């Protein structure tokens, strides 16, 4: 599908730029003080594990040498993005243990979709934390973090107010919307028919963040 081709090209381009930054006559380093990420297993750094139990071995073995909330044996693209910006790895919003959100938060969970699936994880294998839920979590995080940031140690664990307008916002989601249709025995034509709605819902979330926070 053309859409998937564009997404794959975009990911390949992002990786290429991270490895070989474009040189100009005046190099201007990126100055993002925080990252806020939304997505699925491609960028989940512990969200689903916090909600439903840690991903077991061999997940995390090759780099973290143990469970690290990621559904792979090493790091994810979002980890390399954080490294390239000189920022710590993102803590999952849902993880209450050992998390530090001073440089952003990760709302992604493995199995997430753009469109709510209205099923449980055990019924379908898809996360209940769809993109609209992640948006609500981010909105609540933004508001409450600024209230609690003035109280004791929270000043060191939560982002400054100005970080939200200067942050890098990343989105990596949509693949599970396609596979969800096939799990329901839909035809290719039926799956393609709801792609525009998924894109509309994705666009709506991106727009509301751009308008209100960037």
> For residue 89, what are the domain limits?
31-213
Determine, yes or no, domain membership for 8.
no
pLDDT over threshold 60, residue 8: no
pLDDT surpasses 90 at 22: no
Task: Find the mean pLDDT for residues 79-83.
Answer: 96
- 16 has pLDDT over 50: no
Instruction: Kindly write down the DSSP assignment for every residue of 128-190, as one continuous string.
Output: S--HHHHHHHHHHHHHHHHHHTTSTTHHHHS--TTHHHHSEEEEE--HHHHHHHHHTT--HHH
Q: Is the pLDDT of residue 157 over 50?
A: yes
155 part of a folded domain: yes
Average pLDDT, rounded, for the chain: 86
Asked if the model's pLDDT at residue 94 lies above 70, the reply is yes
Share of the chain above pLDDT 90, in %: 64
Confidence of residue 57 (pLDDT cuts 50, 70, 90): confident
**Residue 192 is assigned to a structural domain of this protein:** yes
pTM of the model: 0.84
Q: Residue 20: what pLDDT? A: 52
Q: What is the CATH number of the domain that holds 48?
A: 3.40.50
- Choice between 11 and 126, residue whose per-residue pLDDT is larger: 126
Q: 172 CB contacts (<8 Å, ≥6 apart)?
A: 37, 38, 39, 40, 42, 43, 77, 78, 108
- Write the pLDDT tens digit of every residue in 23-45: 545 566 789 999 999 999 999 99
Beta carbons within 8 Å of 193's beta carbon, 6+ residues apart: none
Q: Are 54 and 69 in contact (CB under 8 A)?
A: yes
Does residue 3 belong to any structural domain of this protein?
A: no
* Residue 56: inside a domain: yes
Q: Could you tell me if residue 196 is inside a domain?
A: yes
Question: Could you report the per-residue pLDDT of 129-148, keeping only the tens digit for each?
Answer: 999 999 999 999 999 999 99
pLDDT at 18 exceeding the cut of 60: no
pLDDT of the residue at 29: 74
Convert the pLDDT of each residue in 160-190 to its tens digit.
999 999 999 999 999 999 998 888 888 999 9
- Gyration radius of the chain over CA positions: 18
Query: What total number of domains does the chain contain?
Result: 1
């Amino acid at each position: 599908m053309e859409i998937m081709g564009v997404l794959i090209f975009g990911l390949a381009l992002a990786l290429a730029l991270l490895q070989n930054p474009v040189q100009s006559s005046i190099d201007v380093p990126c100055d993002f003080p925080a990252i806020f990420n939304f997505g699925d297993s491609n960028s989940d750094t512990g969200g689903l594990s916090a909600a439903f139990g840690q991903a077991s071995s061999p997940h995390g073995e090759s780099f973290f040498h143990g469970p690290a909330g990621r559904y792979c044996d090493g790091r994810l693209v979002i980890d390399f993005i954080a490294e390239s910006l000189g920022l710590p790895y993102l803590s999952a919003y849902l993880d209450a243990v050992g998390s530090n959100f001073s440089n952003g938060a990760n709302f992604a969970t493995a199995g997430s979709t753009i469109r709510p699936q209205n099923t449980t994880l055990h019924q379908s294998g898809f996360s209940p934390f769809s993109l609209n839920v992640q948006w609500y979590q981010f909105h609540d995080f933004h508001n409450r973090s600024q209230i609690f940031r003035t109280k004791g140690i929270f000043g060191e664990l939560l982002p400054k107010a100005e970080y939200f307008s200067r942050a890098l916002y990343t989105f990596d989601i949509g693949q599970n919307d396609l596979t969800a249709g096939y799990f329901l025995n839909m035809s290719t034509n039926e799956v393609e028919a709801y792609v525009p709605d998924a894109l509309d819902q994705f666009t709506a979330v991106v727009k509301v963040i751009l308008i209100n926070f960037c």
